[in-house]
Amino acid sequence: MKEKILEYLLNHQGEFTSGEVLRREFGVSRTAIWKHMKTLKEEGYQITSVPNKGYQLTIEEDRLLAYELEKSLGKKVEVHQSIDSTNNHLKRNARDYPDEMIVLSEEQKKGRGRLGRSWDSPKGAGLFFSMLLRPRITMEESFKITGIAAAAVAEAIEEVTGLPARIKWPNDILVQGKKVSGILTEVSGEPDGINYIIVGIGINVNTPNFTGELKDRATSLYLEKGEKVSRKELFVRAANKFFRFYHGFTREKTLGEVHGILENRSAVLGKEVIILRGEEKKQGKAVEITKEGFLKVRYESGEEEVLSSGEVSVRGLGGY
């Protein structure tokens, strides 16, 4: 019912619709209408109610609307105004939510990065979303999902903004050497089979500035391009691409075209990098992205290692 009322208001933007008209249209009580309006307002829809006139919906430019995104993607989408973390939310509700459900939030109070780090998620300017997946793959294979997401986000950024997006293995997207997006993949399951995967993606879209430690290391698409970027367009493109690559992967069990994207867009290939593993710090050269999407490094000793673990951080000598 709520969706039907929303659709009605969307089709009557710019005019007031009285509670009585809605009551007759949908055959529910005025109180029920009022309750649905209250819920829609809580979900972030800007609805003006004026006594004796009724309700009017105003859509702000670039507002993320579940209704619209669901239509574009053909998937269940939930949009929150504020949340601790979209990954946490999906984790809490994983049992009840459908496969491939997507949760977005306008802001995150406890946005998370990898290895206990945090992700700055200020209100309204970015894209913060998580996708719930239940593929029939092993834990080992699940590491590839981060690469699939990175490829999708990097391509979507470049297609929508024209900015060159590079992938810093395994989970960051850089523009002009600064971090514009990060991916946090979390897996629940056993080594030979998984319950679910949650892929969380944060993109600094229209973030006006960064302070503190992020000042020199982070950027937004707005700052790089010099004009606002449509979050809606970017989200739909990135999600559509992700699911195309992901379905290809679950079908074929190989990365397919994603491998080429990871290679061509790599920010680390051929460069000296520092490998951080807990307290351990090693320097080497990134020499290959393997067909599995893992990073092969060569140390000064000539010894080579293929890195696949989520417990490793790679830092470029250039400071990114």
Q: Is 214 in the site for ligand BTX (CB under 6 A)?
A: yes
CB of 211 to ligand BTX, least distance (A): 11
Q: Is 111 in the site for ligand BTX (CB under 6 A)?
A: yes
Q: Is 268 in the site for ligand BTX (CB under 6 A)?
A: no
Q: What are phi and psi of 264, to 5 degrees?
A: -65, -30
Q: Considering only 9-17, 117-125, 238-246, 265-273, which stretch makes contact with ligand BTX by CB under 6 A?
A: 117-125
Q: Considering only 8-16, 27-35, 39-47, 194-202, which stretch makes contact with ligand BTX by CB under 6 A?
A: 194-202
Please say whether the beta carbons of 121 and 146 come within 8 A.
no
Tell me whether residue 40 or residue 223 sits nearer to ligand BTX (CB atom).
Answer: 223
Q: What are phi and psi of 65, to 5 degrees?
A: -115, 125
Q: Is 206 in the site for ligand BTX (CB under 6 A)?
A: no
CB of 121 to ligand BTX, least distance (A): 6
Q: Determine which residue in the list 101, 132, 160, 184 makes contact with ligand BTX, applying CB under 6 A.
A: 184
The residue type of 213 is E
CB of 87 to ligand BTX, least distance (A): 4
CB of 234 to ligand BTX, least distance (A): 14
* CA 10 – CA 187 distance, rounded (Å): 38
Structure tokens at 304: 């080579």
* Long-range contacts (CB closer than 8 Å, 24 or more residues apart) made by 278-286: 278/311, 283/317, 286/169, 286/314
Q: Is 130 in the site for ligand BTX (CB under 6 A)?
A: yes
Q: Cβ-count burial of 129 within 10 angstroms (0-12 exposed, 13-18 middle, 19+ buried)?
A: buried
Structure tokens at 102: 């997507």
Q: Is 170 in the site for ligand BTX (CB under 6 A)?
A: no
Give the up-direction half-sphere exposure of residue 32: CA atoms within 13 A in the CB hemisphere.
13
Which residues lie near ligand BTX (CB under 6 A)? 85-87, 108, 111-115, 117, 119-120, 128-130, 171-172, 179, 182-184, 200-202, 204, 213-214, 218
